[in-house]
Amino acid sequence: MTGLVLDLRDGITAAALLGALVEVGASLESVEQAVDALGSGPVRLSVRGGGGGTAVRVFAPVGTPTAATWGRLRPHVAHLALEDAVVGHALATLDALAGARAVVEGCAPHAVEVHPLGGPDELAAAIGVAAALRSLDVPLRGCTPVGHGAGTADTMEGPVTMPGSVVAQLLRAVPTLPLDVAEELVDPLGAAVVAAHLAAVVLDPTVVDEHDRTGPTGRGRLPGRRQLRAMLD
């Protein structure tokens, strides 16, 4: 059966995932059209390619719904004029992210503040990933264990032990691979995609390495010249 397998042994970020999906055949036009449903302003995507693969960053248009908490924002997302499959995938991802932040912060998911979730750009990226997967129109068959950085990394919020607390919470039920890299190779939205949609289908890496790939392979660029691979068969 045709499907999509993600090789996440070097990590996963939303931008790298989108880049790999585009390389494997996902439609950037579909991503733009879906994100356009969020607001009234122009959609802006930053597409960066090169030898290390492609990275696609999504910026929310003007007019994207905002609210103080996830409980107040969620109904706006649920009623977007998009395909049910796109909205459902994005909501599951964002619900997982809000749930992990709720555990870390000691509150209920509906009370999680939207700004720490990433605000409009995080919402736009979740919609973009969902739209890219929908444009491929193939099921997610599984992923490898998730590689993540170890040690301490300097961030905008100060020194952070890798993986960060929210990422660690999201990946608590997923096999992981600590790597000798003092930088975060997994962002919260990437981890939320894994937690919401792939936690039950983590594959043995040797199976992925031996997989007979008859379709294209896409690469998404991660920090440290590492790559996320998306494979269609």
CA pair distance 178, 180, nearest whole angstrom: 7
Structural domain including 23 reads: 4-232
CA dihedral 121, 28, 4, 210 (to 10 degrees): -110
Angle of the 84-105 helix axis to the 119-136 helix axis, nearest 10: 140
Max CA distance (Å), the chain: 47
pLDDT in tens, 120-166: 999 999 999 999 999 999 998 899 999 999 888 776 667 878 898 99
User: How many C-beta neighbours within 10 Å does residue 211 have?
Assistant: 14
pLDDT in tens, 108-124: 999 999 876 668 999 99
pLDDT in tens, 168-222: 999 999 999 999 888 889 999 999 999 999 988 898 888 788 766 667 889 999 9
At 192, list the tokens.
Answer: 């939320």
The model's pTM is 0.94
CA pair distance 182, 53, nearest whole angstrom: 21
One-letter amino acid of 192: A
Split into its structural domains, the chain has a count of 1
